[in-house]
């Protein structure tokens, strides 16, 4: 393990450089395939090794003199890069958000108190899970990206083709992510944190259009703000406690030590920015201008989960405290508000983004409550969300390449026009909210846990939020199924994209089927690790029922469709008040012409659109956050 | 002020009142006097003058002067009653009771008594002969007028009503 | 999960009897409505005649897939009921219920018909409207009984309605939506002469409509079963009480149906969420204080 | 083979009537005449209807509408022409825009005369129509039996 | 990509028995634009003036519409009488008034029922139509026809109402009045009804004026205009004031029509009280020659009858402009920005009668 | 005794050039357009177009009559009374009057009849 982890961190960096160097698209593509396969194998090896070692928490790298220096140097390099870019685009004040924390960390490292030597890498169930998500989904997305970016460069000739740069960032990101989830030292975490923020920033600005640049700087300052909070927390904690180990912090927090109070709040705050919780949700929406693979990878499947990961880690320290309440409130509220706003979105990617924010909110809320039950729910939310969102993003990207639009209304009757992509979308959406799939079970558990915790606000948030969630998903699915006259389009999705999508779909269904196994053999130990003891969350009876539902949901339409083929059915035209144009697709309008029939979904953009609701929700959540922090500070100081 | 379910008390009260539904078709309809249902003809009074047919706004009546028939298309008559006003002999009557729904269009044909018609024709012929004979004389003209007047009224009075025949609809 | 015979009997009872009970209830509904309107009304068995007629008609459809979705809707609906009467997790029942409803929406959406599609959109809004109250009901039971299991809830010492009056009210309130009764009959437009023609069922004819109707019967029996769950307890006598309450509730629904106009869906949404928060929400808050 | 006559569902279309017959059709459903006694339901949706009740004659613009509504109804079905206008064109048959009665466009099974047709008369018409409906249903069953198991779909029938 | 849906409304639509077609351009459920199309019921009956003499034409005119059949006949004979300079007997005038008001009650009750049915209040609809049957019974009793009476003729009327029938009318009026009070309470006081009608389809006084709307639609917006005040038939001898409301929404229109039902009852009572004995008609000789334009107040508002004749028995031109034709622009204006759920309400609220609109 | 409103009701001939002017005057006086119609008189071979305006307070009504030959056209008053478009569309579709610049014209698709100008000088099938 001691070799695999550095390999996982460094190999992608090497790949990144390689990507930058290779300017031949074909060669780079092959290299990218190889790289991602190797990353996946690496993760596999890590997991196997860890299991062979007994699947127990592992602590590594006590002495890391050299690495620490490298880390410090990298931080400063990053600072310089960010500052230069800020000056180039005349966003001077943002550079402060980079300079201040970096200098703070540098000062801490060079002149700060002597810290007792501890491990820097920590591997437990949670980190392994994160590694798996990053490795497998990340690898698949890279494979997908090779095909996707080909089409993208072709369609968007108005932008400079900088694929080498794009792949460099993707691989760089993978390395940083591995570093992030395995590190235990807060200093290391801080660096990787900053790296992911900046890569995200660069990817958002990939097209260099003015919109992209505005959005990327918005993402940058919000993430850097979180980074600043993180740096302050580290410095404070280092001075107060003389250590910068996350595990130590969590332990102290969970026993209620006063020293840990402030750092925990600040780190939680940082996590909220990273997970795009209100009031910081806008950056994630803006991030949708980036090419789809980066949306899939960074902005839904992995990077935003870094915040969740940190919160899960902090959960024992949050549970039952004001800080936990704050986090739970912000999460729950984000879940509700983002769900409402998702209804009004017509852009498929924006719907996905809103739903991502909403689901992250739910996970944040789970972490905020911080009991074994909610973490169980949160973990499953994370797994299902990662798979299905990555799948949906990729699918929407591929659909966009074929249809040249990602307006939901253009997805009318997609199931007849692009059967494969529509089917995958269908599975992905079903995974997000339909009964047998995991998201729903997680909601079930989250609801139960919040009742157990007597957190009435959260109960309301979940109940109303999930009611609303079903609206926009059902709407989308219905749109796919609607009958359409539009001609069948040629599916230009590349094989590699299809492979990635197919594996995702199989994973989705697989995880559903293996759900009970996963729960008992992996998540329960994880919870035991975190909370000492944890009983089984899901009763067996419910599990059995679940399996039956899965069978029904898949079998019945298939069987009845097979039967349907053999019955003689009279096909009648639609009901249109008796004035069809002779087909299902149009009618004679008032002016005596044929009017094409296209039934649009409901969006209510003027009532509950982002424009209307975003500002009030931001204000409300800001007030809550500031208020709660004041209360906590009042307790500390 | 607005109240929820304002109508509920009426509904509950209605529950204990008998329904107002008529029993039709189990019980016959009670038409009020003067109800406009269908046209009946006293065929023996008819003089085949065709005034009804000419004035019927729906064109439902056919009168054949030669055959002495009076025919009504039941599915054309709008029960306006104008023919009853126009008929000089007042032999058309608007009666209660509607024409039954049918699978075919329904025509009712009435035949005047041939004997009466014969008599009438004879009289007419006589009158015409007389008229022709006295064409140039003023007195003869007056006499012819008197004869024609006489021909109208007693002709129908004596004859038996002819049985109505149903003419099968032709729907080619 | 222990599969004792009692559960099996309940399940089989539901599978076999529900359509008859549902159909009969609808027959009574139509008869009582007619009498309220001072009409004679159709025979009690009219709903069965109608379904029989529908099965005897030529198979028609706008799209063949519609039938598949309707069958899925029916099977899931029946399964929901079977789960409920089989005594498993109540919250799961409700989740499956909404999955079933989703299939209904698909069945309506596969056509290109404006009315059917608008009906489907409205159905989604309806789902969104009643879902909180439904989930709330499950939460209420969980709070006082510590379990979602219908079986265990039904074997409690006292009737749940004693401590859950607010939840009961909220559930009866949304029953109007689920049963497609007048003030909230948004998606279906059960009585014709309204803007939606037949709403979600516009494109269903003959067998499709028959399947839909039978499924509605299953659904109604399930929903009334949930109403009964508020009443029943360990005492067998309570089952008689439950039947009485169910009939009362059903009568109340008929009365509401007949004594109110069909409101706009915006009004429905506001009213229902308001009522849910005010009754079930307040009830929940109080319970949380008590059951610390 | 069921007793389908107990559940005749109506579709009412106003061809070009003067409203007189329309409102009588409606009155037939209201408390005093209450056609629902006979199992009648006024659906407003051709897919669900068994009996097509047309009031008023056919003009240039509504002829295709009537034809289409008729086509959309599943077999077995019965057409009832209510009112003089629907039977023959009545008082308006000389109007330049009137083709004549309903039978100029689709086959009519029952003619209900009257201007306006009385509710009782319409009830008579419905009773006649549902007997016919039963007869056609039996024939339809025979047809289904003899043509059983055929795969594929019939095209929109004319 | 378009988020707009164009929904066809009519010709076969259950909301309205009559065929009218409107293209509704909608976003979500909000109507952005409404384009009407008429002609499904156009017969061209004005052209029959060439084929039916001026007496026969009366029966055609009465069948312009089965709801205000009496009004059409009345307007037409008034126009011809005006050309021929005929003054009809007072008894005939009062009889025409009584029939016109009973017909107005039947029409308003019909409309109230449809309106209730439109917002899904089926029981109220049935209740009103149950009451309406009493009115129809009266009509059949006095004229012989339930909807189309054919009692007018040029120069007077052809039927009398005997004293016993007058009494029957009075007793029936009392029972109708009692039943209608319950209906009025429900319409005016029920929450669900108000939630559907208040503030829906508002037209201000100025808008009404700009759009040329007539009848209860105009009166509900505060325009006190009622052609009966011109004193045709027996109205010159009867006390009444036009009924108005100020809100101009669907609720106000229901209110106005409800109160007009009671007003009709009142007018009928006054007329029965004041009716003189005398002849039913005067003898009219010759053919009309000249032109005249007559305005009368039908249940749906002001209707115009124009007759141009040339001294033969076939008149040159018969024309009527019916209230719905004048109210259609108001409907289109109302529909813009409306909620789809309210489209039916709005279509019904002008009490549309397409049959006479398209003739 | 109830008061009866004595209102004027007259028919006045007006030259077709002065139609718009008259309409503007009517609008100025706050009058409402009651109806517009036309007739083709075979005998005199002329169209007679009638425009009726009424005052809603006094009930005074004036009908202006414009006489046209078959080929003469008349300006549309839709710019002054927008809702006249139904009347004018009807006039063109059924009678074949030439009306210039109708705002919101249905272009002979208002009634969608098969006949061409059935009441006009030359009839025919489409
Ligand atoms: S639609 Fe796509 S492929 Fe076609 S030109 Fe535009 S960008 Fe290129
Ligand atoms: S299809 Fe459109 S969005 Fe997709 S890559 Fe091409 S241009 Fe861009
Ligand atoms: S009642 Fe009228 S329609 Fe019937 S035959 Fe007499 S005149 Fe003709
Ligand atoms: S008008 Fe009278 S007499 Fe003359 S043909 Fe007709 S029914 Fe006979
Ligand atoms: S034929 Fe003439 S009378 Fe008959 S419905 Fe048509 S328009 Fe009306
Ligand atoms: S038959 Fe008479 S009442 Fe019926 S539509 Fe024709 S004219 Fe009107
Ligand atoms: S369908 Fe309804 S709205 Fe239409 S006429 Fe019949 S009752 Fe009236
Ligand atoms: S407006 Fe016309 S169609 Fe309607 S009732 Fe009056 S006259 Fe009849």
Least Cα distance to D36 among B28, A475, B19 occurs for B19
Whole-number CA gyration radius for chain D = 16
Atom number, ligand 2, closest to the C-alpha of residue A152: 5
Contacts of B145 (CB under 8 A, 6+ apart): none
* CA distance to C80, D113, E70, per residue, from D116 (Å): 52, 8, 14
Optimal mutation site among B57, B61, B79, interface E, most CBs of chain E within 10 A:
B57
* Cα E116 off chain centre by: 18
- What distance in angstroms lies between residue D26's CA and the mean position of ligand 7's atoms? 6
The pairing of beta strand D153-154 with beta strand A569-571? parallel
CA–CA separation, C164 vs A579, rounded Å? 52
Domain ranges (residues) in chain C: 5-291
Report whether residue A404 contacts ligand 1, using a CB cutoff of 6 Å. yes
pLDDT at res. A565: 65
For residue A286 the two structure tokens come to 């803006």
For Cα atoms F84, F89, F94, give the angle at the middle one, nearest 5 degrees.
Answer: 130
* Predicted local confidence at residue B171, as pLDDT: 38
DSSP A345: -
Residue E242, ligand 6, Cβ within 6 A: no
Q: Could you state, in order of their start, the residue ranges of all structural domains in chain A?
A: 1-315, 319-564
Candidate from E239, E293, E328 with C-beta closest to F63: E293
The CATH number given to F9-115 is 3.30.460.80
Residues A195-203 have a mean pLDDT of 88
Determine the pLDDT at residue B25.
80
Task: Check if the beta carbon of residue A60 is closer than 8 Å to that of residue A5.
Answer: yes
| CB of residue C292 inside a 6 A radius of ligand 7 | no
Q: Specify the pLDDT at position C24.
A: 92
Mean pLDDT computed over A408-433: 84
Q: Is the CB of A596 under 6 A from ligand 2?
A: no
Predicted confidence (pLDDT) at residue C99 exceeds the cutoff of 70:
yes
Chains B and F touch (3+ CB pairs under 8 A): no
- Mean pLDDT value across chain F: 79
> Cβ contact (<8 Å) for A572 and C102?
no
Considering only the beta carbons, identify the residue of A346, A590, A598 that sits closest to E36. A590
Q: Structural domains in chain D?
A: 9-157 (3.40.50.12280)
Determine the 3-state secondary structure of E65 from DSSP.
Answer: coil
State the pLDDT at residue C20: 92
3-state secondary structure A95-106: HHHHHHHHHHHH
Q: Which residue of A has its CA nearest to F110?
A: A591
Q: How confident is the model at residue A435 (pLDDT cuts 50, 70, 90)?
A: low
Q: Do A591 and F112 touch (CB under 8 A)?
A: no
* Distance, C-alpha D56 to centroid of its chain: 12
Question: What would the pLDDT profile of B113-123 be if each residue is shown by its tens digit?
Answer: 788 878 877 88
Comparing A103-112, A394-403, B72-81, D146-155, the range with the smallest average pLDDT is: D146-155
Give the ligand with the smallest distance to the CA of D117. 6
CB-based contact B82:E59 (threshold 8 Å)? yes
pLDDT band of residue C220 (cuts 50, 70, 90) is: very high
pLDDT in tens, D135-147: 888 887 776 666 5
| pLDDT surpasses 80 at A439 | no
3-class state of residue D13 by DSSP: strand
- The pair phi, psi for residue C182, each rounded to 5°, is -50, -60
- Tell me: pLDDT of B89 over 80: yes
Q: What is the CATH number of the domain that holds B125?
A: 3.30.70.3270
- Over the stretch A62-71, which tens digit does the pLDDT of each residue have? 666 777 778 8
Do B21 and C258 count as a contact with CB atoms less than 8 A apart? no
User: Which residues in B have their CB inside 8 Å of a CB on E?
Assistant: 1-7, 10-11, 20, 32, 34-36, 55, 57-58, 78-82, 85, 94
Looking from the CA of residue E72, the nearest atom of ligand 8 is: 7
The residue whose CA has the least distance to atom 8 of ligand 8 is E65
Q: Which residues of F touch A591 (CB under 8 A)?
A: 106-107, 109
Residue D24 CA to residue D119 CA, distance in Å, equals 6
pLDDT at position C244 is: 92
d(CA C144, CA C288): 9
| Ranges A315-324, B133-142, D82-91: which has the least confidence | B133-142
| Ligand 2 centroid – CA A283 distance (Å) | 22
Instruction: Give the total residue count for chain E.
Output: 359
Within 10 A of A566 (CB to CB), how many other CB atoms are there? 10
pLDDT on residue D92: 83
C-alpha to C-alpha distance for E161 and E159, rounded to whole angstroms? 7
Q: Are A261 and A249 in contact (CB under 8 A)?
A: no
- For residue C260, the chain B residues in CB contact (below 8 A) are 4-5, 7
Atom of ligand 1 nearest to the CA of A156: 7
Sign of CA dihedral A389, A391, A396, A397: positive
Given a cut of 50, the residues of chain E with pLDDT beneath it are: 1-2
Strand partners, E13: E16
Chain D residues in contact with B24 (beta carbon < 8 A): 33, 120, 123
SS3 A591: coil
On the question of a cis peptide bond just before residue E11, with omega within 30 degrees of 0, the verdict is yes
Closest of E315, E209, E333 to residue F53, by C-alpha: E209
pLDDT at position E150, please?
82
pLDDT in tens, A245-274: 888 888 888 777 777 788 888 888 888 888
**Are the CB atoms for A182 and A525 separated by under 8 Å?**
no
pLDDT score recorded for residue F108: 67
Q: Report d(CA A511, CA A442) in Å as an integer.
A: 13
Establish if B170 belongs to a structural domain.
Answer: no
Determine how β-strand A121-123 pairs with β-strand A58-60: antiparallel
Give the pLDDT of residue B160: 41
pTM assigned to the model: 0.87
Q: How confident is the model at residue C223 (pLDDT cuts 50, 70, 90)?
A: very high
Q: Are C38 and E196 an interchain contact pair (Cβ–Cβ within 8 Å)?
A: no
Query: Percent of chain A, pLDDT > 90?
Result: 2
**Touching E: which chains, 3+ CB pairs < 8 A?**
A, B, C, D, F
Instruction: Decide whether any atom of ligand 7 lies within 6 Å of the E31 Cβ.
Output: no
| Cross-chain residue pair F118–D96, CB shorter than 8 Å | yes
For residues C141 and C90, the answer to whether their CB atoms sit within 8 Å is: yes
- Go through the domains of chain E in sequence order and give each one's CATH number: 4-150+159-358 (1.10.645.10)
Residue E254 C-alpha, separation from nearest chain C C-alpha, in angstroms? 14
Interface pTM, i.e. ipTM: 0.85
Q: Which ligand lies nearest to the CA atom of residue E74 in the structure? A: 8
Are E192 and C263 inside 8 Å of each other by CB? Answer: yes
Structural domain of residue B132, as residue ranges?
33-136
Average confidence score pLDDT of chain B: 76
Q: Side-chain half-sphere of A365: how many Cα atoms within 13 Å?
A: 34
pLDDT for residue D78 is more than 50: yes
Q: Are A524 and A373 in contact (CB under 8 A)?
A: no
Query: Interface partners of D (3+ CB pairs, < 8 Å)?
Result: A, B, C, E, F
Q: What is the mean pLDDT of residues C52-61?
A: 83
Contacts of E325 in chain F (CB under 8 A): 86
Cβ count within 10 A of residue C211 = 21
Chains C and F, touching by 3 or more CB pairs within 8 angstroms: no
Q: How far is the CA of A153 from the centre of ligand 2 (A)?
A: 9
pLDDT of residue A566: 65
Q: Measuring from each residue's beta carbon to the nearest atom of ligand 4, which residues come in under 6 Å?
A: B 41, 46-52, 63, 70, 87-89, 91-92
Residue A233 pLDDT: 87
Q: Is the pLDDT of residue B165 over 60?
A: no
Q: Is D116 in the pocket of ligand 5 (CB under 6 A)?
A: no
Q: How far is CA C120 from CA A357, C129, C200, in A?
A: 27, 14, 6
Mean pLDDT computed over A148-168: 81
CA–CA min distance C59, chain B (Å): 28
Q: How many domains does one find in chain B?
A: 1
Confidence of residue D44 (pLDDT cuts 50, 70, 90): confident
Round to whole Å and give the CA distance between A177 and E8.
55
Q: Please give the helix or strand (H or E) that residue C24 lies within, else none.
A: helix C5-36
Better-scored residue on pLDDT, C24 or B116: C24
Decide: helix, strand or coil at residue C111: coil
- Residue in C61, C72, C116 closest to A571 by CB: C61
**Mean pLDDT, chain C, integer:** 86
With contact defined as 3+ CB pairs under 8 Å, the chains touching B are C, D, E
Per-residue confidence (pLDDT) for residue C208, from 0 to 100: 86
Tell whether F86 lies on the interface with A, counting CB pairs under 8 A.
Answer: no
F47-91 pLDDT per residue, tens: 888 888 888 778 888 888 888 887 888 888 888 888 888 888 888
Which ligand is in closest contact with the Cα of E52?
3
Q: What is the pLDDT of residue B164?
A: 41
Q: How far apart are CA A288 and CA C246, in angstroms?
A: 52
């Amino acid at each position: 393990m001691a070799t695999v982890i550095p390999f996982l961190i460094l190999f992608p960096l090497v790949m990144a450089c390689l990507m930058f160097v290779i300017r031949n698209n074909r060669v780079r593509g092959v290299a990218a395939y190889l790289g991602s396969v190797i990353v996946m194998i690496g993760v596999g090896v890590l997991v196997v090794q860890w299991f062979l070692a007994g699947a127990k928490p592992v602590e590594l790298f006590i002495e890391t003199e050299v690495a620490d220096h490298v880390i410090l140097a990298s931080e400063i390099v990053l600072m310089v890069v960010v500052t230069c870019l800020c000056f180039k685009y005349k966003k001077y004040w943002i550079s402060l958000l980079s300079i201040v924390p970096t200098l703070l960390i540098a000062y801490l490292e060079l002149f700060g108190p002597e810290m007792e030597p501890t491990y820097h890498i920590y591997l437990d169930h949670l980190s392994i899970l994160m590694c798996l998500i990053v490795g497998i989904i990340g690898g698949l997305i890279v494979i997908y990206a090779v095909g996707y970016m080909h089409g993208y460069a072709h369609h968007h000739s108005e932008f400079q083709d900088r694929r080498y740069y794009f792949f460099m960032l993707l691989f760089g990101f993978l390395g940083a992510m591995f570093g992030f989830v395995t590190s235990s030292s807060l200093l290391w975490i801080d660096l990787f944190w900053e790296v992911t923020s900046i890569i995200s920033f660069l990817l958002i600005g990939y097209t260099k259009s003015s919109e992209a640049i505005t959005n990327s700087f918005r993402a940058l300052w919000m993430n850097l703000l979180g980074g600043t909070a993180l740096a302050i927390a580290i410095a404070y904690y280092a001075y107060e406690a003389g250590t910068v180990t996350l595990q130590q912090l969590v332990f102290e927090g969970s026993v209620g030590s006063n020293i840990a109070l402030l750092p925990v709040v600040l780190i939680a705050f940082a996590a909220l920015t990273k997970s795009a919780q209100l009031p910081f949700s806008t950056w994630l929406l803006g991030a949708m201008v980036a090419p789809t693979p980066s949306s899939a990878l960074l902005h839904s499947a992995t990077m935003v989960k870094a915040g969740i990961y940190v919160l899960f880690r902090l959960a024992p320290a949050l549970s039952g405290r004001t800080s936990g309440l704050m986090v739970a409130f912000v999460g729950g509220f984000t879940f509700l508000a983002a769900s409402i706003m998702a209804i009004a979105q017509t852009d498929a990617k924006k719907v996905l983004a809103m739903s991502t924010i909403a689901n992250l909110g739910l996970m944040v809320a789970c972490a905020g409550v911080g009991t074994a039950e909610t973490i169980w729910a949160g973990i499953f939310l994370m797994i299902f969300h990662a798979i299905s969102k990555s799948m949906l993003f990729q699918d929407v990207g591929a659909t966009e390449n074929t249809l040249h639009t990602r307006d939901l209304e253009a997805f009318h009757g997609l199931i007849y026009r692009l059967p494969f992509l529509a089917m995958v979308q269908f599975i992905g959406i079903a995974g997000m909210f339909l009964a047998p799939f995991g998201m729903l079970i997680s909601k079930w558990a989250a609801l139960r846990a919040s009742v157990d915790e007597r957190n009435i606000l959260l109960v309301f948030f979940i109940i109303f939020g999930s009611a609303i969630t079903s609206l926009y998903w059902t709407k989308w699915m219905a749109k796919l199924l609607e009958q359409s006259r539009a001609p069948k389009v040629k599916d230009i999705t590349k094989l590699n994209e299809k492979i990635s999508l197919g594996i995702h779909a199989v994973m989705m269904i697989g995880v559903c089927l293996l759900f009970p196994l996963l729960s008992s053999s992996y998540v329960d130990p994880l919870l035991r690790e975190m909370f000492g003891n944890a009983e089984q969350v899901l009763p067996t009876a419910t599990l059995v029922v679940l399996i039956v539902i899965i069978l029904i949901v898949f079998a019945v339409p298939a069987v009845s469709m097979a039967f349907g083929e053999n019955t003689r059915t009279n096909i009648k035209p639609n009901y249109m008040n008796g004035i069809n144009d002779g087909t299902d697709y149009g009618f004679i309008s008032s002016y005596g012409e044929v009017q094409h029939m296209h039934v649009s979904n409901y969006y209510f953009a003027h009532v509950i659109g982002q424009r209307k609701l975003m500002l009030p929700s931001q204000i409300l959540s800001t007030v809550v956050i500031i208020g709660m922090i004041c209360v906590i500070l009042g307790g500390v100081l | 002020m607005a109240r929820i379910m304002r109508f509920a008390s009426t509904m509950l009260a209605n529950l204990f009142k008998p329904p107002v539904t008529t029993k039709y078709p189990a019980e016959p309809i009670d038409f009020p006097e003067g109800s406009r249902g269908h046209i009946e003809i006293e065929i023996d009074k008819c003089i085949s003058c065709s005034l009804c047919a000419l004035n019927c706004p729906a064109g439902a009546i056919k009168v054949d002067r030669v055959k002495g028939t009076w025919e009504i298309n039941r599915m054309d008559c709008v029960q306006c009653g104008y023919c009853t006003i126009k008929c000089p002999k007042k032999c058309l009557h608007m009666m209660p009771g509607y024409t039954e729904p049918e699978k075919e269009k329904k025509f009712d044909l009435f035949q005047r008594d041939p004997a009466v018609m014969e008599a009438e024709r004879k009289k007419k012929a006589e009158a015409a002969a007389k008229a022709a004979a006295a064409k140039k004389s003023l007195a003869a003209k007056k006499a012819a007028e008197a004869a024609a007047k006489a021909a109208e009224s007693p002709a129908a009075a004596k004859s038996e009503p002819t049985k109505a025949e149903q003419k099968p609809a032709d729907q080619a | 999960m222990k599969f004792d015979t009692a559960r099996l009997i309940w399940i089989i009872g539901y599978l076999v009897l529900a359509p008859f009970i549902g159909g009969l209830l609808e027959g009574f509904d139509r008869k009582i409505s007619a009498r309220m309107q001072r009409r004679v009304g159709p025979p009690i068995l009219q709903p069965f005649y109608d379904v029989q007629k529908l099965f005897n008609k030529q198979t028609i459809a706008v799209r063949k897939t519609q039938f598949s979705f309707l069958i899925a809707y029916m099977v899931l609906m029946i399964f929901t009921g079977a789960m409920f009467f089989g005594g498993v997790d109540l919250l799961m029942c409700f989740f499956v219920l909404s999955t079933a409803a989703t299939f209904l929406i698909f069945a309506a959406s596969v056509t290109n018909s404006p009315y059917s599609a608008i009906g489907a959109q409205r159905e989604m809004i309806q789902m969104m409207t009643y879902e909180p109250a439904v989930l709330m009901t499950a939460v209420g039971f969980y709070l006082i009984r510590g379990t979602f299991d219908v079986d265990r809830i039904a074997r409690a010492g006292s009737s749940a309605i004693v401590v859950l009056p607010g939840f009961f009210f909220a559930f009866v309130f949304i029953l109007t939506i689920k049963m497609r009764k007048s003030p909230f009959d948004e998606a279906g437009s059960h009585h014709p002469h309204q803007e939606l023609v037949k709403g979600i069922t516009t494109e269903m004819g003959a067998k499709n409509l028959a399947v839909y109707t039978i499924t509605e019967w299953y659904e109604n029996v399930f929903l009334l079963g949930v109403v009964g769950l508020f009443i029943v307890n360990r005492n067998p006598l309570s089952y008689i009480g439950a039947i009485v309450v169910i009939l009362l509730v059903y009568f109340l629904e008929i009365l509401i149906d007949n004594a109110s106009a069909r409101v706009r869906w915006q009004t429905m949404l506001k009213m229902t969420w308001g009522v849910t928060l005010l009754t079930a929400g307040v009830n929940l808050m109080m319970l949380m204080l008590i059951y610390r | 083979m069921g007793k389908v006559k107990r559940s005749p569902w109506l579709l009412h279309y106003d061809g070009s009537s003067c409203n007189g017959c329309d409102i009588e059709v409606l009155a037939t459903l209201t408390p005093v005449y209450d056609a629902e006694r006979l199992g009648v339901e006024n659906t407003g949706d051709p897919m669900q209807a068994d009996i097509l009740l047309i009031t008023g004659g056919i003009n240039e613009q509504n002829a295709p509408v009537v034809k289409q509504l008729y086509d959309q109804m599943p077999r077995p079905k019965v057409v009832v022409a209510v009112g003089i206008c629907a039977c023959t064109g009545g008082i308006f048959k000389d109007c330049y825009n009137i083709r004549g009665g309903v039978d100029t466009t689709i086959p009519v099974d029952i003619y209900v005369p009257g201007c306006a047709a009385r509710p009782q008369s319409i009830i008579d018409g419905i009773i006649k129509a549902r007997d016919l409906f039963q007869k056609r249903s039996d024939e339809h069953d025979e047809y289904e039996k003899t043509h059983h198991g055929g795969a594929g779909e019939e095209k929109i029938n004319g | 990509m378009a988020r707009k849906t164009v929904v066809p409304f009519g010709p076969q639509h259950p909301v309205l028995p009559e065929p009218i077609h409107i293209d509704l351009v909608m976003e979500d459920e909000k109507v952005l634009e409404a384009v009407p199309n008429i002609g499904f019921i156009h017969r061209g009956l004005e052209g029959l003036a060439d084929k039916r003499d001026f007496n026969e034409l009366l029966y055609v005119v009465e069948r312009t519409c089965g709801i205000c059949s009496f009004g059409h006949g009345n307007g037409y004979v008034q126009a011809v009488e005006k050309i021929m300079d005929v003054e009809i007997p007072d008894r005939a005038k009062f009889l025409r008034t009584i029939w016109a008001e009973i017909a107005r009650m039947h029409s308003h009750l019909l409309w109230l029922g449809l309106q209730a049915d439109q917002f899904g209040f089926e029981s109220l609809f049935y209740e009103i139509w149950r009451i309406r049957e009493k009115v129809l019974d009266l009509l059949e009793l006095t004229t012989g026809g339930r909807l189309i009476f054919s009692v007018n003729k040029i120069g007077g009327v052809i039927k009398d109402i005997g004293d016993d029938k007058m009494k029957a009318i009075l007793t029936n009026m009392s029972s109708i009045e009692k039943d209608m009070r319950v209906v009025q309470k429900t319409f005016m006081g029920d929450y669900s009804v108000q939630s559907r009608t208040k503030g829906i389809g508002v037209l201000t006084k100025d808008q009404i004026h700009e759009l040329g709307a007539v009848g209860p639609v105009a009166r509900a917006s505060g325009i006190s205009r009622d052609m009966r005040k011109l004193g045709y038939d027996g109205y010159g001898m009867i006390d009444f004031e036009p009924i108005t409301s100020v809100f101009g929404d669907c609720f106000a229109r229901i209110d106005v029509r409800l109160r007009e039902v009671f007003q009709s009852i009142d007018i009928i009572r006054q007329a029965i009280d004041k009716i003189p004995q005398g002849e039913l008609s005067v003898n009219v000789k010759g053919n009309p020659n000249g032109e005249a334009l007559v305005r009368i107040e039908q249940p749906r508002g002001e209707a115009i009858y124009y007759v141009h004749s040339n001294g033969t028995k076939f008149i040159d031109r018969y024309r009527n402009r019916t209230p719905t034709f004048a109210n259609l622009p108001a409907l289109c204006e109302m529909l813009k920005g409306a909620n789809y759920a309210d489209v039916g309400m709005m279509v019904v609220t002008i009490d549309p009668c397409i049959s006479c609109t398209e003739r | 005794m109830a008061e009866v409103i004595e209102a004027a009701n007259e028919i006045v001939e007006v030259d077709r050039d002065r139609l718009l002017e008259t309409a503007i005057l009517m609008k100025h006086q706050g009058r409402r357009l009651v109806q517009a119609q036309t007739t083709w008189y075979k005998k005199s071979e002329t169209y007679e177009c009638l425009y009726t305006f009424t005052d809603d307070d006094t009930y005074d009504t004036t009908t202006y009559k414009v006489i046209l030959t078959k080929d003469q056209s008349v300006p549309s008053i839709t710019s002054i009374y927008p809702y006249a478009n139904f009347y004018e569309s009807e006039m063109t579709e059924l009678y074949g009057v030439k009306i210039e610049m109708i705002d919101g014209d249905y272009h002979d698709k208002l009634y969608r009849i098969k006949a061409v100008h059935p009441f006009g000088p030359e009839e025919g099938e489409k």
